[in-house]
Amino acid sequence: MCIVHILAFIDLPFVAPEKRSVVTISAPSGTETSRSPRIVLAILAFSGIVVSLMQTLVVPLIHALPELLDTDTATASWVITSTLLAAAAVTPVAGRLGDMFGKRRMILISMAFLVAGSVVCALGDSVTAVIVGRALQGAATGAIPLGISILRDELPREKVGGAISVMSSTMGVGGAVGMPLAAFTAQNYDWHTLFWASAVLGTLVAAAVTIAVPESSVRNPGRFDYLGAIGLTVGLVSLLLPITKGADWGWTSVPTLGLLGLSVVVFAAWCVTELRTPEPLVDLRVSASRPVLLTNVASVLTGFAMYATSLTVPLLLQLPPETGYGLGKSMVVAGLCMAPGGIVMMMLSPVSAHLTNRYGPRTTLMVGTVVIASGYLIGAVLMNAMWQIALVATIIGAGIGISYAAMPALIMGSVPLKETAAANGLNSLMRMIGTSFASAVMILVLTGMTMSLGPTEVPTHKAFVVTFLIGAGAALCALLVAAFIPRRVRLDAAATPVPASAEPAPAPAH
């Protein structure tokens, strides 16, 4: 945690952290910031897309990784697992540090992690180097919730809703658009090119943020909760590791059950410690409030629904036609089939903002989950042609874009202004946990319902139907949870300037 001490002495026009007062903003009252809101939004959205690209960067290389890195399949899988674990551990910590030392500064540090990790992978040929590099790339994931918080702090109130919708959609856009680009690059160039490209993108983001994005003046002074950060990291790793590796280790194996048991113990102790800590990493009292708690639960379910299609659709498209239902397409074509879903997420941002402004973020979230469930139910019966699968992926992508746009508004309308980055980081973490569970469940279904095709075993048609129905079920469960979120959660109420001596209070919910 030496980063905390570094931050305290780099370009800080404030007194020591424990003596600083909360500095609030005046922009939300309706005045323009010194920089164009459109430029700020465009740069932060670009940063979100670049960060989310890292999630699908190596997907086209999955089957070739053991050969490329001269290792076995189990070890090669850590190239993906390391990114997930680093992202889960760092995102809530980055949010808290952003609230303490500056959100823009933490975005720049996130980009430094991304560029460093990309260069390590680009120069490395060993599995160890690539795993380390991918972990550094995963550590940049906190840039997305930090960007959302900057938009809430710095943009005029009337522009915040639409800006948050655009920023939230980048979580899906980067992954969907990045898959065909990564596949094309991997098929036509040396695999190291992928990482050199990501290093260049990260550098461009850092330069643009430095030049055009203002530092938020909203701070939450205090001491960093080292014990809380260590406890959360240990708890998350011991939870997510068996979820992602359970299929390889065996769900009833000693490592799987042991780590899951450890996560229960660690999280129980962590909760007790956080409740007793004056300045906790995660304010559990705020997080346990009805709007925040239910939004985070819905985020887990929506993250599950999002990743379900990311796993099943490309596989269905690439299976050989001899199966009777596979379409025999290449990874590039499969990625292109998924791309419209990501584009639609961005295009629907104004719709999401309009729904939120007129009916509230709760209604927007409920509409999004209904659209997701509809897409999966359609997919359960329409999966015989590429246009059908592309349509299904687009409908699901539209629903995810609408849902994701509502979640930050629900969170930020329910937490103190000075805790927005930490709260958004925790919400992003909930989505990651949902995607991890989706990966485990979908792999369990797809490997448990198979048939022989020559010397190999492939998932049956029924397996894909079941995965679509599970995705629909997750979305409907999210709808049910969202129905119990208080009807009115006002984003603008929490954005009202507060005197430095006052403690910002959550926006009222009715």
Structure tokens at 308: 């379900």
Going by C-beta distance under 8 Å and a sequence separation of 6 or more, which residues neighbour residue 55? 83, 174, 175, 178
pLDDT digits (tens, 9 = 90+) for 439-493: 888 888 988 888 888 788 888 999 999 999 999 999 999 999 999 998 765 544 4
| pLDDT value of residue 489 | 53
Model-level pTM?
Answer: 0.81
Instruction: Give tens-digit pLDDT for 25-75.
Output: 333 433 344 568 889 989 999 999 999 888 878 877 887 888 888 888 888
Could you give the 3-state DSSP secondary structure of residue 449? coil
Tokens at 246, concatenated: 């359970």
- What is the rounded distance in angstroms from the CA atom of residue 442 to the CA atom of residue 377? 16
Asked whether 43 and 147 are in contact (CB, 8 A), the reply is no
Which pLDDT tens digit goes with each residue over 196-230? 999 999 999 999 999 999 888 777 777 888 999 99
DSSP 371-415: HHHHHHHHHTT--SSHHHHHHHHHHHHHHHHHHHHHHHHHHHTTS
Whether residue 16 is predicted with pLDDT greater than 70 in this model: the reply is no
**pLDDT (tens digit, 9 = 90+) per residue, 68-105?**
888 888 888 889 888 888 988 898 889 888 888 889 99
What is the average per-residue pLDDT within 148-157? 83
pLDDT, residue 202, reads 95
Taking CA atoms, 219 is separated from 24, 272, 380, in Å, by 8, 26, 48
